[in-house]
């Protein structure tokens, strides 16, 4: 899907560290776009609403936590 960045409202987490951030934009129709804040000219990754909800559920459940050393 080709995505124009114009007109989208991008959000960055308040937990973002300096220079290591991603931004999220809610798309018409319920999808979500994710982009790298360091290189906004790169194409955003686009997900459907159900894909995004499944990802967030996994995050909330700790499924993507880094392994403890």
Structural domain includes residue 54: yes
Which string of b and e fits 18-52 if b means at least 16 CB within 10 Å? eeeebbbbebeeebbbebeeeeeeeebebbeeeeb
Residue ranges in the chain modelled with pLDDT below 70: 1-6
User: Which pLDDT score is estimated for 4?
Assistant: 57
- At 69 the pLDDT is 81
Does residue 28 form part of some domain?
yes
How many domains are contained in the chain? 1
Does 4 map to a domain? no
Residue 65 inside a domain? The answer is: no
Length of the chain: 69
Residue 67 maps to a domain: no
- Write down the pTM of the prediction: 0.79
2 domain-assigned: no
pLDDT of the residue at 41: 86
Task: Assess if residue 66 is contained within a domain.
Answer: no
Query: Can you give the residue range of the structural domain that contains 33?
Result: 10-60
In this structure, are residues 35 and 44 in contact, taking their beta carbons and an 8 Å threshold? yes
Domain annotation covers residue 52: yes
């Amino acid at each position: 899907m080709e995505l124009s960045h114009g007109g989208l409202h991008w959000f960055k987490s308040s937990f973002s560290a300096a220079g290591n951030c991603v931004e999220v934009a809610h798309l018409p129709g319920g999808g979500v776009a994710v982009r790298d804040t360091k290189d906004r000219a790169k194409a955003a990754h686009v997900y459907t609403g159900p894909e995004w909800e499944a990802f967030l559920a996994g995050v909330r459940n700790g499924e993507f936590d880094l392994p403890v050393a």
